Amino acid sequence: MTEDKAEVSMTRKEYDALKAKAAGDAPAGDGPTVDSRGFKTVEGMEDIDTNGDGHISKGEMDMHLEFKRKELEDADAMRDAQRKMAWFSLFGMLLYPFAVVIASVAGIVAAFFGAQAFSKGK
Task: Sketch the domain layout of the chain as residue ranges.
Answer: 12-94
- Return all residues near 37 (Cβ < 8 A) that are at least 6 apart: 55
pLDDT score recorded for residue 78: 97
CA distance 98 to 90: 13
pTM summary value: 0.47
Pick 8 or 75 by higher pLDDT.
75
**pLDDT tens per residue, range 9-59:** 677 777 778 787 777 765 545 555 666 666 666 666 777 877 777 677 888
Half-sphere exposure for 50 (CA within 13 Å, toward CB): 9
pLDDT score recorded for residue 7: 45
